[in-house]
């Protein structure tokens, strides 16, 4: 009887732990990691002084970042930030922003 309680407790603990594993191992995308610095100026909820990026059209974001990067769009700080990203990274960031609400 005592042994069956120990087994039941072990099974319950295993099931409880298994319920948390998907959250603990959720993959953080490279695009999500790249955008973490964006939120220091662009607030997540769009209440900051800079334009909100959540819900910003993906293709427009890519074209604007490319314009900052190649200097065709003047900027005070965005042109310096954009130059540090590859074209692939700009697409990854735009893809990520298009997925969050």
The pLDDT tens digits for 22-56 are: 555 567 899 999 998 888 888 777 677 788 888 88
Supply the pTM of this predicted model. 0.69
What distance in Å separates the CA atoms of residue 71 and residue 29, rounded to the nearest whole number?
28
Confirm whether 65 is domain-assigned: yes
Confirm whether 19 is domain-assigned: no
Domain with 91 in it: what CATH number? Answer: 1.10.760.10
Confirm whether 68 is domain-assigned: yes
The count of structural domains within the chain is 1
pLDDT at 71: 95
For residues 51-75, average pLDDT: 92
Q: Give yes or no for residue 8 having a pLDDT over 70.
A: no
Residue-number span of the structural domain to which 47 is assigned:
30-98
pLDDT at 14: 53
């Amino acid at each position: 009887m005592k042994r069956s309680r120990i087994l039941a407790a072990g099974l319950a603990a295993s099931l409880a732990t298994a319920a948390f594993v998907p959250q603990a191992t959720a993959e953080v995308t490279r695009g999500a990691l790249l955008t973490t610095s964006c939120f220091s100026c662009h607030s997540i909820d769009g209440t900051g002084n800079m334009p909100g990026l959540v819900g910003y059209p993906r293709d427009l974001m890519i074209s604007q970042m490319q314009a900052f990067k190649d200097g065709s769009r003047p900027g005070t700080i965005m042109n310096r930030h954009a130059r540090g990203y590859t074209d692939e990274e700009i697409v990854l960031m735009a893809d990520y922003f298009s997925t969050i609400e």
